[in-house]
Amino acid sequence: MSIYRTSLPAVTLDTADSLQAGALTRGQKSVGFIPNMYANMANSPGLLETYMDGYDRFRKHSGFSPSEQEVILLTISRYNGCTYCMAAHSMIAAQMSGVSEPDLQALRDGNPLSTVNLSILNEFVKHLLETGGRPQQEQVERFMRAGYQEKQILEILLAMAVKLLSNYSNHLFETPLDNAFSNYVWSES
C-alpha cells in the first residue's frame, strides 16, 4: 500500500491569491520567514489561518510555561510521527524555550523525562492521545497534583487540534525541512 502525497505546489507570495497572500504575510510577520509548512498549508488559507490562530492562542493563553508548551507540542508531534514538527519544535525547545538537553533527547526518543512535572505532563498528554480525549480519573488527579489546572486539559486539546492540522498537512506534503530546523532532523525509530 502506497501513501498518498499531494501534488499541490507550495504557495509563494508571488503565486498567492489575495487570501493566501494575507495568510502568508501574517505568518512571515510572526515567524520572520515563510516556513515550508506555511507555504504548503496556504493552499487552504482557512487551514493556515486556523492553525496560526490556535497556535497563537495556545502560546499566549494556555497557562503553560514555554518549556511545558514544547513538551506538549513535541509529545503530540512524536505521537503523530511528524518529522517536520519534531525538528521545528526541537529547535524551539533547545534555543528558545529552555528545555534541558536530557529532556529534549528523551522527548525525541519517547523516553521518560528527568524533570518530574514535565514527565507528568508528557505522560498525561500521551494518555489523552491514546484514549482519544477520555482520560482516566487517576490520570487527571495526578496531573492536577503536579500543579496543573483542570482548564489546562482544554488547552492541551487545543494543542492537539493545532498539531493535527500541521502534522497531517506535513504528512500529505512530505514537507521538506527549512534550514532553520536542519540541525534537529528527527525520524521515527
Per-residue pLDDT of the chain (189 residues; tens, 9 = 90+): 889 999 999 999 999 999 999 999 999 999 999 999 999 999 999 999 999 999 999 999 999 999 999 999 999 999 999 999 999 999 999 999 999 999 999 999 999 999 999 999 999 999 999 999 999 999 999 999 999 999 999 999 999 999 999 999 999 999 999 999 999 999 987
Residue 38, domain member (yes or no): no
| Burial bucket for residue 154 (CB in 10 Å: 0-12, 13-18, 19+) | exposed
What's this model's pTM, rounded to 2 decimal places?
A: 0.96
Helix, strand, coil percentages in the chain from 3-state DSSP, rounded to 5: 65, 0, 35
CATH classification of the domain holding 118: 1.20.1290.10
120 domain-assigned? yes
83-120: burial string, b at 16+ Cβ within 10 Å, e else? bbbbbbbbbbbbeebebeeebbebbbeeeebebebbbb
Please, are residues 170 and 142 in contact by the beta-carbon 8 Å criterion?
A: no
Residue 131 lies in a domain: yes
